[in-house]
Structure 1
Amino acid sequence: MESGLLQYAKDFHQLCSEIEPTDYTKYEHIWNRSLQTFIYLNLLSNYLSHDDIIDYSTIKLMINNDNHLYDYLFALMQLVSELTRLTVNTVILNEFDRPKRISAFIKDVYQALSQLNFKNDALRRKFDALKYDINKPTYPLSGPGSELNEQHPANNSTSTYFFSANFYNSQDILPAFFDQFLQLSDYLGRDNVYISIYESNSHDNTKDLLHHFDDALTRLSIPHTVITDDSTQKPFFVGNERINYLASVRNLTLAPLTRQLDERFNHFDKIVFLNDVFYDWFSVVRLLNTRNGAYDQVCAFDYFKIGLYDTWVTRDTCSRRTKVVWPYYQDAHSIDLLRRGEPIPVNSCWNGITAFDASWFVDRSGDSDPIRFRVLDECVTSECLLSSYDIHRKSHKQPEIYMNPLVPTAYEKPVFQLRSRLFNLSLARPYLTYRYWFEERLFGWLTALGRKEEECAAWLDEWKTGNCTYE
């Protein structure tokens, strides 16, 4: 397209040099439409490349003529209309940050155009039509991306969130992690989030990166605690000694979660734990808005090369471990929800990112026993599983715990790109067909043979299984 635009500009220069000014005015209606298209394409190309606008003075130099402000304004309004349509395509491609930028850009352009006094002609009618484009929602009202829309019922600017993260030798993942969290905090509101980070034993560049992130959070006035320990040697533990160590470092991130901090944030709505994973900020919003926020706990899906990663923690509604490969679950109801991309009830999960109703972790009465990470003395099991299990123990009804299949995370960037990007494209359809017929229908029974049994079942006997189905 660039070569075509350059050729048009060259030809237009030649036209302007060879035609008399009076004849130019007389016959300009012949090339006005093509000139408007030329200006519009330059504006669109520049915006897609730089998120910026070409001013009229630059356009004058490009066409070597000073008499086409009308055509410039017409092309600018056409750009605004086109960008509102572009937001739909960007959402389909999972580019959820671009609609925000487009919305801010077209509102700025509209505000500038509003200062002009248009005559009652085609340009005026074009401007009047822009108000319908301006009032379109930034994100769709239904379908993918709808949970990001300000009109979504779960979005509430007064909601507050406590984020917790632990890191060890995470230098490869931290730049992307920081970038996504800052976009997430901008969306949720910087005054509505608190992040607590504890790093331990890293011997790569993790500590330095966290110090820089600490400074960035301070500059942006995002409430936070970032602690890096002095050790670069990870202690060697096995069995419950290892679980006890992991539980202790997770609990250190919860140390700032006092009643005073909770009251300062007008009582946190959700407590969110972030592992050292690749994720998208809008996926976290989608996770928080699962079932319009009505849950005790909700988890993402974390993947590795073969399939589902965190099967050691995940338990279905019958307290059975999931399997690594598709369709992960045993019962038909869960598999059907998985295919439809809807939240799946489980008894426990973690999966890279998980959000809890804050009431489980905050002592608001002064005499309650908030959940903290711990070990099971009689058997080796994950401290993360026990956080879900303790909800079962403390609850008088079936806990509302779900996994959201629309929220992918991964510890490796290629795996994350595969699950979050490529699986949404049409080129992935042959694989999805293969997965349905071979991994699920024909050989699902075979992949289930490797499913591990619960080793600590005798000591984990307080699961509530009211939603259990063996179908």
Structure 2
Amino acid sequence: MAPAMIDPALFEELKTKIEEDTVVRKELDRIIDDLSQQVSFSQGVLSRIHSTPRSKYTILLPQVEDGIRKEIQCVGTLSSFASRNPYYKYNHKWVRTVQEAISTVLLCAWLGGLGSEARPGEVGRLMTLEEVGAVFAVPVNLKDRDAFHITIEDYLLALINIIDELSRLAMNSVTMGDNELAVLISSFVKDLHAGFQVLNLKNDILRKRVDSIKYAVKKVEDVVYDLSLRNLIPAKMDE
């Protein structure tokens, strides 16, 4: 009995699927590269907070917001394209960049940016996951359909990123004579650390990153302790 012949159409079909996948990946790479460039711009402007007095944030933050508006456009393009394809097949390509974009939004808002008539900006503001989703105009924590969204893990990892940045700012703010900001950062970082301890985290990467928060807490506590030894903590914050 002659052996069965393999139908050539099988490999033609596989070839077509591979080519389609390559097209999707190339387009995602292009979109993500555009987003990465806008995130890098926003991060570059935000890095100036370490040498900019708080009184000058009103000049700095609008520049950050300009960068974030371009990030929002890129995320919109990404969301539209990615939602036409299986989310968990491709999300590894953009997850890091999207988390960095979220970090720029969280930090800008914490510094007093991204305010509105309904809610003016204020230093120390923590945006919720839902508020971040609203900024980017994308769903969050989707469970009912396979589409682009911001996950809880994305939000938490972005939050840890700004903790690192704020702990550095605590030290630099003292150098600029803004002891009040250092104390505010210390209180905020300790509250976040306490909040993270409540979470039952299953994600290994997230658990490891959460462990690193204690070093940021120690760093800002040391700054505030040094200020207290020198009686340099503003009186109203002692109350």
Identify whether the pair has TM-score above 0.5, normalized to the shorter chain.
yes
Contact 1:99 1:138 in 2 (8 A): no
Shift of 1:24: 2.7
Counterpart-to-counterpart distance in 1, 2:101 and 2:75? 10
CA shift in 2, pair 1:102/1:18, >3 Å: same
Q: CA deviation at 1:85?
A: 1.0
Match of 2:73 in 1: 10
Q: Distance in 1 between matches of 2:133 and 2:67?
A: 18
Pair member with larger Rg: 1
Deviation at 1:137, TM superposition (A): 4.4
Structure of higher RCO (CA pairs closer than 8 Å, 6+ residues apart) = 2
Q: 1:52 aligns with which of 110, 121, 125?
A: 125
1:94 aligns with 2:177: yes
Q: CA RMSD in A?
A: 2.6
Structure 1 residues 19 and 81: CA distance shift in structure 2, 3 A: closer
Q: Decide whether aligned partners of structure 1 residues 12 and 120 sit closer, same or farther in structure 2, where only a CA change above 3 A counts.
A: closer
What residue number does 1:62 align with?
A: 135
Mapped contact 2:129–2:140 kept (Cα < 8 A): no
Q: Aligned partner of 2:130: which letter?
A: S
The change in CA–CA distance for 1:21 and 1:94 in structure 2 (over 3 A counts) is same
Determine if contact 2:171/2:220 at 8 Å carries over to the other structure.
Answer: no
Superposition map of 1:31-430 within 5 A: 31-49=94-112, 50=122, 51-63=124-136, 64-67=138-141, 68-138=151-221, 140=223, 146=226, 148-149=227-228, 152=229, 183-184=234-235, 186-187=237-238
Counterparts in 2 of 1:186 and 1:9: CA distance versus 1, 3 Å: closer
The residue aligned with 1:381 is none
Query: Amino acid of the residue matched to residue 70 of structure 1?
Result: E
Q: 2: distance between equivalents of 1:79 and 1:102?
A: 11
Q: 1:104 to 1:140 in 2, by over 3 A?
A: closer
Distance 1:103 1:56 in 2: 22
Once the two structures are TM-superposed, the CA of residue 26 in structure 1 deviates from its matched residue by 1.1
Paired letter, 1:101: L
Distance 1:47 1:72 in 2: 14
Match of 2:91 in 1: 28
Cα distance in 2 for residues equivalent to 1:98 and 1:58 = 24
| TM-score of the superposed pair, with normalisation by structure 2 | 0.58
Residues 99 and 155 in structure 2, CA contact (< 8 A), matched pair in contact too: yes
Once residues 7 and 40 of structure 1 are traced to their aligned partners in structure 2, the CA distance between those partners, rounded to angstroms, is: 15
Report how far residue 46 of structure 1 moved: 0.8
CA deviation after TM superposition for structure 1 residue 4, in Å: 2.0
Letter in 1 for 2:98: L
Looking at structure 2, the residues matched to 140 and 75 of structure 1 have their Cα atoms a distance apart, in angstroms, of 24
SS in 1 for 2:200: coil
Query: 1: distance between equivalents of 2:83 and 2:237?
Result: 55
Cα offset for 1:109? 1.4
In the alignment, what sits opposite 1:280? none
Which structure is higher in strand share? Answer: 1
Q: 3-state DSSP class of the match of 2:86? A: helix
d(CA) in 1 for partners of 2:202, 2:236: 44
Judge conservation of contact 1:36–1:71 (CA < 8 Å) in 2. Answer: yes
CA distance in 1, matches of 2:206, 2:171: 26
Q: Which amino acid aligns with 2:216?
A: D
Q: Which residue of 2 aligns with 1:297?
A: none
| One-letter code aligned to 1:72 | Y
Match of 2:34?
none
**Unpaired segments ≥5 residues, structure 1:** 156-179, 191-471
Q: Structure 1 residues 186, 8: closer, same or farther in 2, change over 3 A?
A: closer
Distance in 2 separating the partners of 1:58 and 1:120: 23
| Alpha-carbon distance, 1:47 to partner | 0.8
1:62 shift after superposition? 2.6
**How far does the alpha carbon of each residue in 1:201-228 deviate from its partner, in whole angstroms, 9 at most, with x for none?**
xxxxxxxxxxxxxxxxxxxxxxxxxxxx
Query: What's the % identity of the aligned pairs?
Result: 29
Q: Deviations over 1:365-398 (max 9, x none)?
A: xxxxxxxxxxxxxxxxxxxxxxxxxxxxxxxxxx
CA contact (8 A) 2:103 2:159 kept: yes
The CA deviation at 1:91 is 0.7
What residue number does 2:61 align with?
A: none
Q: Structure 1-normalised TM-score?
A: 0.31
Q: Secondary structure at the match of 1:52?
A: coil
**For the residues of structure 2 that align with 1:184 and 1:20, how far apart are their CA atoms?**
53
* Structure 2 CA distance for partners of 1:184 and 1:62, relative to 1, 3 Å: closer
Q: Deviations over 1:168-195 (max 9, x none)?
A: xxxxxxxxxxxx9x942643xx5xxxxx
In structure 1, distance between residues paired with 2:76 and 2:171:
37
- Which of structure 1's runs of 4+ aligned residues deviate more than 6 A? none
